[in-house]
């Protein structure tokens, strides 16, 4: 049974719209242009498929799509590695979901938890499936200004906790990356109804989420810079590094690193001395 081909078609259209003929390395076809980027027939020629076949792809009328065709489309559209993998995930066949017993609560990986506890001098967060908080240290709650109790959603914090928009100076960069990561996760896990419901809810209630979702940007968890305006400590700057355990691909240790002897590094011990939140 094929997946929902509407999402695949929308992704192809979004990538086609952003690419001009010159960027694709082809001469524009003659005639009036009614699209901002490549026309369907131009992309079809660039990818080596017939215009009719490509039209069926975008319209969701092509059930089976070979890996060779997907790779050709990825090359023609100049997709990066994350986008290429996303394209393959959206086009992959899937079998009907069989109901299973409810999953037990996800437990923090012991190794990642030990690593978090050795990094008490910087903020650290352990995230599980769907961006669920599995653990965090005291500095993380002090820096972000939210308790982020285990079992809560970091995605919800980003969009439904006013403190996030107040403290994260580059909130738009971080929030749009969160949406792009969740879009990637929904294609990777088509049967995760809780994840789908979460994103559907946020898209309905938050215009920013809806806008970023509709531009079809995708990304994996990646290292980024986060700038914080702390009400007492002032401006802080962190480079966010992601640590994964090979046997726990659904868990990510998010470490807020600092430059040695930077203003942020010097103020963190002071914040740590103020914070009385018990370690989890």
Question: Cβ of 99: how many Cβ atoms within 10 Å?
Answer: 5
Q: What is the pLDDT along the chain (280 residues), one digit of tens a residue?
A: 345 678 899 999 999 999 999 888 888 888 777 777 899 999 999 999 999 999 999 988 887 899 999 999 999 999 999 999 999 999 987 555 554 444 567 889 999 999 999 999 999 999 998 999 999 999 999 999 999 999 999 999 999 999 999 999 999 999 999 999 999 999 988 888 999 999 999 999 999 999 999 999 999 877 788 999 999 999 999 999 999 888 888 899 999 999 999 999 999 999 998 764 444 4
pLDDT of amino acid 1: 35
pLDDT at 99: 47
CA dihedral 11, 223, 194, 67 (to 10 degrees): 40
pLDDT at 249: 85
* Contact (Cβ atoms closer than 8 angstroms) between residue 195 and residue 182: yes
* Phi, psi dihedral angles at 249 (to 5 degrees): -65, -15
Q: What is the pLDDT of residue 28?
A: 86
* Percent helix / strand / coil, the chain, rounded to 5: 50, 15, 35
Q: Percent of the chain at pLDDT above 70? A: 92
- Residue 168, phi then psi, degrees to nearest 5: -85, 105
d(CA 182, CA 130): 8
Which tokens belong to 203? 């898209």
Domains of the chain plus CATH, in order, are 5-91 (1.10.260.40), 110-275 (3.30.450.180)
Alpha carbons 50 and 40: distance in angstroms, whole number: 10
pLDDT digits (tens, 9 = 90+) for 203-261: 999 999 999 999 999 998 777 889 999 999 999 999 999 998 888 888 999 999 999 99
User: Could you tell me if 157 and 136 are in contact, meaning their C-beta atoms sit under 8 angstroms apart?
Assistant: no
Instruction: Lay out the sheet containing 234-245: strands in order across.
Output: 133-136, 124-127, 248-257, 234-245, 224-230
Distances (CA, A) of 224 to 167, 169, 240, 257: 16, 13, 5, 10
pLDDT of residue 189: 87
User: How many whole angstroms separate alpha carbon 17 and alpha carbon 244?
Assistant: 35
| SS3 call for 127 | strand
Token digits of residue 39: 């026309």
Q: How far apart are CA 89 and CA 106, in angstroms?
A: 25
Res 103: pLDDT:
56
Q: What is the pLDDT of residue 159?
A: 97
Give me the pLDDT at residue 96, please: 53
pLDDT of residue 104: 61
Structure tokens at 176: 């749009």
Helices and strands of the chain, counted as H and E runs: 14, 5
- Predicted pLDDT at 4: 63
């Amino acid at each position: 049974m094929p997946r929902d081909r509407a999402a695949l078609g929308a992704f192809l259209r979004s990538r086609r719209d952003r690419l001009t003929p010159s960027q694709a390395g082809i001469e524009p076809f003659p005639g009036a242009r009614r699209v901002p980027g490549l026309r369907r027939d131009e992309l079809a020629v660039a990818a080596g498929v017939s215009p009719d076949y490509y039209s069926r792809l975008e319209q969701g009328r092509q059930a089976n799509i070979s890996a060779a065709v997907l790779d050709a489309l990825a090359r023609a559209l100049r997709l990066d590695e994350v986008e290429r993998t996303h394209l393959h995930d959206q086009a992959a066949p899937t079998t009907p979901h069989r109901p299973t017993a409810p999953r037990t609560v996800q437990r923090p990986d012991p190794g990642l938890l030990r690593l978090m506890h050795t990094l008490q001098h910087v903020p650290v967060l352990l995230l599980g499936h769907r961006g669920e908080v599995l653990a965090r240290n005291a500095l993380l709650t002090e820096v972000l200004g939210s308790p982020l109790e285990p079992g809560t959603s970091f995605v919800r914090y980003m969009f439904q906790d006013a403190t996030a928009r107040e403290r994260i100076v580059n909130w738009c960069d971080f929030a749009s990356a969160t949406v792009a990561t969740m879009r990637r996760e929904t294609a990777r896990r088509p049967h995760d109804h809780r994840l789908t419901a979460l994103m559907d809810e946020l898209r309905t209630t938050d215009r920013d989420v809806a806008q970023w979702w509709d531009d079809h940007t995708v990304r994996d968890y990646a290292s980024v810079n986060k700038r914080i305006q702390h009400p007492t400590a002032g401006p802080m700057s962190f480079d966010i590094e992601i640590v994964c355990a090979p046997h726990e691909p659904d868990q990510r240790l998010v470490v807020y690193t600092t430059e040695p002897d930077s203003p942020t590094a010097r103020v963190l011990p002071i914040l740590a001395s103020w914070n009385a939140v018990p370690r989890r």
